[in-house]
Amino acid sequence: MLVFPGGGFSKLAIDLEGSEVRDWLTSRGTTCVLVKYHVPKSGHHYDEDCHCAVTPKHLLALQVAQRAIRLVRSRASELKINPRKIGVIGFSAGGYLVAQTSNIFEPAYEPVDEIDKVSSRPDFAIAMFPGHLCRSGGSLDPGIKVTKMTPPTFLLQAWDDPVDPICNSIVYARALDEAGVPAEVHLFAKGGHAFAMRPLRHPVERWPTLVEDWLKDTGIL
């Protein structure tokens, strides 16, 4: 599984939503790759100069994410993993990367070698408190075209998230449903944002168990 940390495409929460998640996954026997993608301004972000949301011309974070999936799949034999069971998990902005890689399969960059002929489509996807998906009027980001090719998806978010509104999970879940994509969605009353593996005094802290159960139910584990 590839891990995409969050940080609003301005920084990278490499420990909270990266190495700590990696350690949990590897403790469960899952081969894990922690992806350190470019920041800042490498994806849809809030620009402090114009005080507005901006989508950069070159989606550097998506480029890195796609390349990382291709690299892992191309080395499946070397890594002793199943090339048909390669998934992604992301948090906040990383959750947006999960949605992008789940729906954008054409290279976001000019191919450089044979590896770029390998599919970048994840076989399953986990988006934790995703951001950037819900746009004006409660519509889904027009750059995300959900189809039957979108992989089975797990979504989780807290209703009191002060950073990324619950609309992000709801609008994406609706699109998954309309496209007939299998999905599991958990919306908790409390939890805030960026809780990741840190302990909370709320039911949302059980999310790792929910993810593991979902992976078993879908036949991944």
Say which DSSP state 118 is in. Answer: S
pLDDT in tens, 13-55: 999 999 999 999 999 999 999 999 999 999 998 787 888 888 8
pLDDT value of position 12 = 97
Amino acid identity of residue 103, one-letter, is: N
pLDDT value of position 115 = 97
3-state secondary structure (DSSP) of residue 152? coil
pLDDT value of position 54 = 84
Token duo for residue 109: 């960059």
Q: How far apart are CA 157 and CA 197, in angstroms?
A: 14
Q: What's the average pLDDT block by block, 10 residues per block, for the chain (221 residues)?
A: 97 96 96 97 85 87 98 98 98 98 97 97 99 94 98 98 97 99 98 92 96 97 90
| Class of CATH domain 2-217 | alpha beta
What's phi and psi for 173, nearest 5 deg?
A: -60, -40
Q: How far apart are CA 72 and CA 81, in angstroms?
A: 9
Q: How far apart are CA 71 and CA 108, in angstroms?
A: 15
Give 31: exposed, middle or buried? Use CB within 10 Å, 0-12, 13-18, 19+. Answer: middle
Reference 35, options 76, 65, 62, 9; nearest CA is 65
Q: How far apart are CA 188 and CA 204, in angstroms?
A: 6
Q: How far apart are CA 61 and CA 53, in angstroms?
A: 16
Quote the mean pLDDT of the chain.
96
